[in-house]
Amino acid sequence: MMEILDLVNMIRQIAFAIHVYLGHGHLEKVYENALVHRMRKAGLRVEQQVPIKVYDEDGTLIGNYIADILVEGVLIIEIKAAGELAPEHEAQILGYLKATGMQHGLLINFGSYRFQIRKYIRTA
């Protein structure tokens, strides 16, 4: 498996190429499908619409999420098609990282006229 920074850089390039090709104005699902397709073509192991369970401190299941994309088992990607990224988008990816115990996440917004991508690292 490649280093996380190499993986992130590869995905950043793929996502930017999608942004240039498709532009803004499509639904999130279109961008998600395009990103999954191109990452798989690049040889990455990709899962789409990954269920995430959230537990209370005593182990009781208290909720379920669906993460857009999981790459190589180490990176969660959340796709947006919004005019701008908002604090609730950041809270969503951080919640996914906390719920899974994973360290690395990407938040990608294809909905703006300018490409937006942010990397998150959970440290605790």
Interval 55-81: pLDDT, tens: 888 989 988 989 999 999 999 999 999
- pLDDT at position 85 is 95
Please give the pLDDT value at position 28.
Answer: 96
For residue 123, what pLDDT is reported? 85
> Where are the chain's structural domains?
4-121
pLDDT band at 1 (very low <50, low <70, confident <90, very high): low
Q: What is the pLDDT of residue 70?
A: 96
**34-53 average pLDDT score:** 96
Per-residue confidence (pLDDT) for residue 59, from 0 to 100: 87
- pLDDT value for 68: 96
Nearest to 76 by CA among 41, 101, 59: 101
The answer to pTM > 0.95 is no
Which option is the CATH number for 4-121: 3.40.120.10, 3.90.320.10, 2.40.110.20, 3.50.50.60? 3.90.320.10
What per-residue confidence (pLDDT) applies to 56?
87
User: Are the C-beta atoms of 21 and 65 separated by less than 8 Å?
Assistant: no
Cα–Cα dist 22/81, whole Å? 12
pLDDT exceeds cutoff 90 at 2: no
Cα distances from 39 to residues 7, 10, 30, in angstroms, run 10, 9, 14
